[in-house]
Amino acid sequence: MLPNRKTAVAAIGAVALAGALLAAAPAQADTTGPAPAKTAKTAKSAPKGDGAKAICKRLPKTETRISAAITRLNGDVTVPGSIARLEQRAANAQTAGHTEIHTYLNDRLTFRKSLLPTLQKRQDDLKAVSTWCSAQESK
């Protein structure tokens, strides 16, 4: 049995050595060759415009998404994602004495409440963008 075990150990050692040499070969190849040329995909450039055409194109979907988010946030306790539902969950955690859960949910609630005015501001901004896009189409 000893000869087979020695053979197995030697074979494993040879495989490990070969793997180490193969792993080192690409690293050495990178350091000795010329630097790879940048392709169009990897080259970064500054934007040429403001993206107005794309914004106008996506406007209906953006308005729909923001409107749906505001509706969800203003929903009652039965609406998943609503402020009222999260308030109820935080209150339930406090009643149950789950301090850590209450703190976590309360922090989420604080963020969610701050999100509502942000979305309402974006909705107002999009009305002005919609007017601008309509004026550009008529030109």
Question: Which are the contacts of 62, defined by CB distance < 8 A and separation ≥ 6?
Answer: 126
Closest CA to 73 of 19, 113, 18: 113
**In the chain, where are the structural domains located?**
52-137
Question: Which are the contacts of 108, defined by CB distance < 8 A and separation ≥ 6?
Answer: 86
pLDDT (tens digit per residue) in 61-118:
999 999 999 999 999 999 999 999 999 999 999 999 999 999 999 999 999 999 999 9
Provide the mean pLDDT of the chain: 83
DSSP state of 78: T
With 0.95 as the threshold, say if the pTM is over it.
no
Q: Rounded to whole angstroms, how far apart are CA atoms 102 and 92?
A: 8
Backbone phi, psi, residue 76, to 5°: -85, -170
Band of residue 136 on the pLDDT scale cut at 50, 70, 90: confident
